[in-house]
Amino acid sequence: MGLLVVGSVAYDSVETSADKVVEVLGGSATFFSMASSLFAPTYVVAVIGEDFREGELDRLRRRGVDVRGIERVPGATFRWGGRYSPYFTTRDTLFTELNVFSDFQPKIPVEQTGAELVFLANIHPALQLDVLNQMKGPRFVALDTMGFWITGEREKLLTVLKRIDALFLNDEEAFALSECGNLVTAARRIRAMGPRILVVKRGEFGSVLFYDGHALAMPAVMLEHVVDPTGAGDTFAGGFMGYLASQPVIDVRALQGAMVTGTVAASFCVEGFSIDALERADLSALAQRHQQLRTSTASLDMDLTHARDRATSRG
Amino acid sequence: MGLLVVGSVAYDSVETSADKVVEVLGGSATFFSMASSLFAPTYVVAVIGEDFREGELDRLRRRGVDVRGIERVPGATFRWGGRYSPYFTTRDTLFTELNVFSDFQPKIPVEQTGAELVFLANIHPALQLDVLNQMKGPRFVALDTMGFWITGEREKLLTVLKRIDALFLNDEEAFALSECGNLVTAARRIRAMGPRILVVKRGEFGSVLFYDGHALAMPAVMLEHVVDPTGAGDTFAGGFMGYLASQPVIDVRALQGAMVTGTVAASFCVEGFSIDALERADLSALAQRHQQLRTSTASLDMDLTHARDRATSRG
């Protein structure tokens, strides 16, 4: 029954040290679905304005994304503008124009309320809760949020956290939510708030999955030509959730596969502005990069215990 | 014929948000050899002052470290003091008293000049070059340095880089040396300066090995109880080089094993002040943590290409 994502479809304007784009396709639900739809039927619930170019929706449709839940309403589409420092070490938000997004009241099409997996992208926790109340018992729910809600709508966020399976955060958000600066401790505290799974996104340093008291750290793909990191986190979540949706059982093995898939998907996202590079990446491109990542995280049969004996006997 | 390390043996005073220690055993050669000696016969060349407590050398001797190359001279031992911010996000150096280390002229004992592997810890590049000139053609030489030499003694450093196999740096040092802020580009430029292998140490984010145009990223062990990160980089290098010394051939597989071993060794270092936790870790403790890391970096047999077919047929 596929995967439902509720989030934003937006126009982004992005400046980097090398280039600049204006009003290109962006938004959490856009990046997420462009990745997830490679692995599982994906339904997007979002809102766009009168000014939204129909051709942009075709890009999602061509990927097989179901866009019937994207509502077009009077007004302008959500716009975001940001500027990255050289080498993407910091990002400044230049403007955020919520426009039609400020009155977003997600309505899940009735035929999509049975989706097996749900991803609640970064929106007001009250809306995230409202979406869950419209669904017919999905088997796996994941949520993304940000510092603004963690500090400003903490109680509502804590309420929705009790009803989800997995939470996606970056280090800073995990520290803010747990009020603690060690990631392992933070993960323990956050898992005690409800989600049994915490995924910490660390940008170029990769990601960490916390579950059942274990931590699975995954390095990112090392890239020489980064164009624009915007959307990488949502793309990671899309690869992660899409892979889970393709699995008969969500167990440790499926979660490991989801981490790899999210990592690989995000590596394509950052190689272009908007969804440009992600759109060009098909399943075989992802599979190829997975092989590369696999080599780079290769585990080994090593007999550490007898290493010194060998060294001494060789001496 | 084992592994020779030339570096410092020092007294460290360290303040953290939780605790404080004064004049405990430290120094690059100390941390390095406490790790490397688990895997290969290790010779330390360093200098200490009259005030150095003989019992500290016994800690190295008990590990099997050959300390005959540690010269005791009139004057005081090298002292370093530092303070870490909560959760070790930043470190301030409070004082550096070079003392006898300021006149350090490494003299390699003649019976150790045939060591197969050499680690030149962070000292003046001219001294690193001088050590190499005393050696009888080691099969593998690695070097550590810091920003102070990268900017202040660049020409001498470039000279010695031409004669080594592997360079250990952190991100910031790699960027400074290469004059570039992308790590993959930086690695390419640095490898063109001489060393065919670059190991970038990224603290809690793990490390990356660059060789032959490949990048092998390795996450760090996730730790909840970090006591003091001082010496972690040298401990990493010790585990790395010790493992290589135990291998008949230094190939890709050996380098991957070295990355794992360095990662595991460093994870013990940070769990105590000075060498306290590292000293308690024996080969079986390292092997056990290696299994843990192995699980956390598990690569998978995943058929990404047919994931969507499976998801759809299940729908």
**pLDDT recorded at residue A253:** 87
ipTM over 0.85: yes
pLDDT greater than 50 at residue B68: yes
Max alpha carbon distance in chain B (Å)?
Answer: 80
Question: Which chain A positions have a beta carbon within 8 Å of B182's beta carbon?
Answer: 87, 224, 226
pLDDT greater than 80 at residue B295: no
Reported as a pLDDT band with limits 50, 70 and 90, residue A290 is confident
Mean local confidence (pLDDT), B50-72: 97
**pLDDT recorded at residue A295:** 61
CB contact under 8 A, B311 and A223: no
Task: List pLDDT tens digits, range B222-247.
Answer: 999 999 999 999 999 999 999 999 99
Picking from A299, A310, A313 by the largest number of B CB atoms within 10 A of its own CB, the best residue to mutate is A299
Q: Which of B185, B218, B305 sits opposite A219 (nearest CB)?
A: B218
CATH superfamily membership of B3-314: Ribokinase (3.40.1190.20)
CA distances, B260 to each of A116, A207, B132 (Å): 39, 18, 27
Q: Which of B185, B287, B311 sits opposite A304 (nearest CB)?
A: B287
Question: Which chain A positions have a beta carbon within 8 Å of B264's beta carbon?
Answer: 304
Reported as a pLDDT band with limits 50, 70 and 90, residue A303 is low
What are the extents of the domains in chain B?
3-314
**pLDDT recorded at residue B152:** 97
Pure H helices in chain A: 28-36, 54-62, 125-134, 147-152, 154-161, 171-178, 183-192, 232-245, 252-269, 276-280, 283-296, 307-314
The answer to whether the beta carbons of residues B280 and B288 sit under 8 Å apart is: no
pLDDT greater than 50 at residue B315: no
Number of H helices, E strands in chain B: 12, 13
Q: What is the pLDDT of chain B when averaged over all its residues?
A: 93
Mean local confidence (pLDDT), B45-60: 97
Task: List pLDDT tens digits, range B202-227.
Answer: 999 999 999 987 888 999 999 999 99
Contacts of residue B197, defined as CB under 8 A and 6 or more positions apart, other chains included, come to B142, B165, B166, B167, B191, B209, B210, B211, B255
Our measurement of the distance from residue B128's CA atom to the centroid of its chain's CA atoms, rounded to an integer in Å, reads 16
CB contact under 8 A, B184 and A224: yes
> How many percent of chain A have pLDDT more than 70?
93
| Paired residues of A142 in beta bridges | A119, A166
On the CB side of B142, how many CA atoms lie within 13 Å of its CA? Answer: 29
Mean local confidence (pLDDT), A24-44: 97
Alpha carbons A54 and A76: distance in angstroms, whole number: 14
pLDDT greater than 80 at residue B298: no
Q: Which of A40, A184, A312 sits opposite B222 (nearest CB)?
A: A184
- Closest to A82 (Cα-Cα) out of A71, A98, A95: A95
- Closest to B144 (Cα-Cα) out of B158, B129, B123, B171: B123
Structure tokens at A204: 């170029």
CA dihedral (B144, B149, B155, B157) in degrees, to 10, reads -10
- Closest to A183 (Cα-Cα) out of B263, B204, B90, B236: B204
Mean local confidence (pLDDT), B280-309: 73
List the 251-310 stretch of A: residues with Cβ below 8 A of B: 253, 256-257, 260-261, 264, 283-284, 286-287, 290, 293-300, 302, 304-305, 307-308, 310
Mean local confidence (pLDDT), A71-75: 97
Task: List pLDDT tens digits, range A135-186.
Answer: 999 999 999 999 999 999 999 999 999 999 999 999 999 999 999 999 999 9
The DSSP output letter for A86 is G
Number of H helices, E strands in chain A: 12, 13
**pLDDT recorded at residue B157:** 98
**pLDDT recorded at residue A315:** 44
